[in-house]
Chain A
Amino acid sequence: MKSVILYSLSGFSTYIHNLLSSNIGNNLILLITELTIIGITLLISLVLLCFFLGWMERRVAAFMELRLGPNRVGPQGTLQIVADTVKLLFKEGLTPSKSDKFLFNLAPFIVVVAAMMAIAPLAFAKNFSIFDINIGVLYVSSVSSLSVLGVLMAGWSSYNKYSLLGAMRSGAQIVSYELSVGLSLIAIVVLSGNTSLGEIINSQQNGWWIFKGHIPAIIAFVIFIIASTAEINRAPFDLAEADQELTGGFNTEYSGMKFAMFLLAEYINLFVVSAMGATLFLGGWMPFHIGNWESFNQIMDYIPSFVWFMGKTFLIIFIIMWFRWTFPRLRVDQLLKLEWKYLLPISMINIILITLIAIMGWHF
């Protein structure tokens, strides 16, 4: 199938690379310069993304609860989150006197770094990803589970029973739900026969896996959404924070910018999880194609690949937000029951079906 995607960010990145390499002779300095540019661009765009997600979450929440949400600062309240960030910048960053000060101050950084590391292999547009390694799926699933280390650290070092309880709950939750996330990711790995995110996207050129893999792929998608909602500690699985029971859980003692960093990490995790779902199940930046409808497919190709990727990602983000403002929080025993009695057995049987489909070549 010939590709007529006109707009691609790969041309832009190649242009910058050529510009830099013609001016800088030394390879090491060139590498460092490029890494710095990537890092700064990533940081700025992630902060902007988190501003947008924060605004989106408040507005979605408000509309679902028949409220209006922030609509005073800036057009439709878009600048409210900027005002909040400025407020947090001026707040005092308290450290409790009996806390383990080193771990207490380290924890927010670990959470943010773990969240940011998972961004690396994601393909934002056609031929445009930071670091497309051949074990992308494995990399993302292992790096994103590092953030529980930061959460446990924060809870342990705070010298506060609420924090400790929240952190322990978070540990139990992530250890359990990691399995379901992993199994639903494996379903797509089995179908596409590849763990590189770029290759998985390329394998979806004639249709997204959620359509090609029949019902088992849809089951895997649903399990992925549920389990990853639990993994990023969002309601209805927000036992680690549980404002009403634990007064904020593991981040009870945090204030100012350190608190903001936990918030930043939460939104980056939300984005990573949604982007993973969009990449594996909904075809990443691949446009939507229907069989032999040539003219329809051509029109779809004219939409830039970046828009496709972001559109799918924000669709999943919206679904996860929809969960948050609809369902009540689960109890700890219900949480573990859901995982070990329902999600895990179902995804195991699902893996068998997926393997059968892959072996027999029933997917198209």
Chain B
Amino acid sequence: MFLKNYILTVFRSIKSLLKGMKVTGYYFTHPKNILTQEYPDNRATLQMFERFKGEVVMPHNTNNEHRCTGCQACEIACPNGTIKIITKQELTADGKKKKRLDTFVYHHDMCTLCNMCIIACPSDAIVMAQTFEHSVYDKKMLKKILNAPESKLMEGVE
């Protein structure tokens, strides 16, 4: 009984060792599976992952219109004060006064890319962009204004 167990142990362990070597041997003989991205060389063909978060941006349509109503939900949701929203009063066509977005200030240097602002936004005005090359020579350049100059609120977004 002891001898049988002994021999079985030897064979079982050899089998499991060979199984491990098969895996690494497969990797060695199939260099196509290599995961390393040779970054600066493959800039042109680089594909980012779907859930990669680079920075907060505000999409504008062709008429230079955005969806931000200036409700400040993102500013409240942000855990470290990255977003600062400045609003203004605007007269609508029927003479009513309405609160509108003036400037959407986004401090990229403080942002932790936690995605809270995007979840909080009721009108889907901001999204996470997949850009990743953010290095600049001056920290001030990381303070960004997201709404384009002269942009307006899109029709039908309240």
Interface residues in chain A, defined as those with a beta carbon under 8 Å from any beta carbon in chain B: 60, 63-68, 322-323, 325-327, 342, 346
Whether the pair B27, A64 counts as a contact (CB closer than 8 A) is yes
Whether the pair A327, B20 counts as a contact (CB closer than 8 A) is yes
Q: Which one of B10, B17, B35 contacts A66 once the chains associate, using CB atoms below 8 Å?
A: B35
Q: How far is the CB of A326 from chain B (nearest CB, A)?
A: 4
Interface residues in chain B, defined as those with a beta carbon under 8 Å from any beta carbon in chain A: 10, 17, 20-21, 23-25, 27-28, 31, 33-36, 38
Q: How far is the CB of B14 from chain A (nearest CB, A)?
A: 9
Q: Which one of A67, A68, A322 contacts B24 once the chains associate, using CB atoms below 8 Å?
A: A322
The CA of A63 and the CA of B31, in the complex, are separated in Å by 7
Q: A67-B34, A323-B21 are in contact. List 4 more A-B contacts (CB 8 A).
A: A64-B28, A322-B21, A325-B24, A326-B20
The CA of A342 and the CA of B25, in the complex, are separated in Å by 26
Chain A hits for B17, CB < 8 A:
326-327
Chain A hits for B35, CB < 8 A:
66-67
Whether the pair A64, B36 counts as a contact (CB closer than 8 A) is no
Whether the pair A60, B28 counts as a contact (CB closer than 8 A) is yes
With both beta carbons as reference points, the residue of chain A lying nearest to B7 in the complex is identified as: A346
* Contact sample, A vs B, 30 pairs, CB 8 Å cutoff: A63-B28, A63-B34, A64-B24, A64-B27, A64-B28, A65-B27, A66-B27, A66-B33, A66-B34, A66-B35, A66-B36, A67-B34, A67-B35, A68-B36, A68-B38, A322-B21, A322-B24, A322-B25, A322-B28, A323-B21, A325-B24, A326-B17, A326-B20, A326-B21, A326-B23, A326-B24, A327-B17, A327-B20, A342-B10, A346-B10
Known: A322-B25, A342-B10, A346-B10. A67 touches B36 (CB 8 A): yes
Q: How far is the CB of A212 from chain B (nearest CB, A)?
A: 23
The CA of A342 and the CA of B11, in the complex, are separated in Å by 11
Q: How far is the CB of B28 from chain A (nearest CB, A)?
A: 5
With both beta carbons as reference points, the residue of chain B lying nearest to A72 in the complex is identified as: B38
Chain A hits for B28, CB < 8 A:
60, 63-64, 322
Closest 5 CB pairs of A and B: A64-B24, A68-B36, A326-B24, A326-B20, A66-B35
Chain A hits for B10, CB < 8 A:
342, 346
**Residue of A67, A322, A325, A326 with highest tally of chain B CB at under 10 A:** A326
Q: How far is the CB of B136 from chain A (nearest CB, A)?
A: 26
Q: Which one of A63, A327, A346 contacts B27 once the chains associate, using CB atoms below 8 Å?
A: A63
Q: How far is the CB of A255 from chain B (nearest CB, A)?
A: 30
The CA of A67 and the CA of B31, in the complex, are separated in Å by 9
Q: How far is the CB of A107 from chain B (nearest CB, A)?
A: 34
Chain B hits for A65, CB < 8 A:
27
Q: How far is the CB of B72 from chain A (nearest CB, A)?
A: 46
Chain B hits for A67, CB < 8 A:
34-36
Chain B hits for A342, CB < 8 A:
10
Whether the pair B21, A68 counts as a contact (CB closer than 8 A) is no
Q: How far is the CB of A29 from chain B (nearest CB, A)?
A: 51
Chain A hits for B36, CB < 8 A:
66-68
The CA of A59 and the CA of B16, in the complex, are separated in Å by 25
With both beta carbons as reference points, the residue of chain B lying nearest to A63 in the complex is identified as: B28
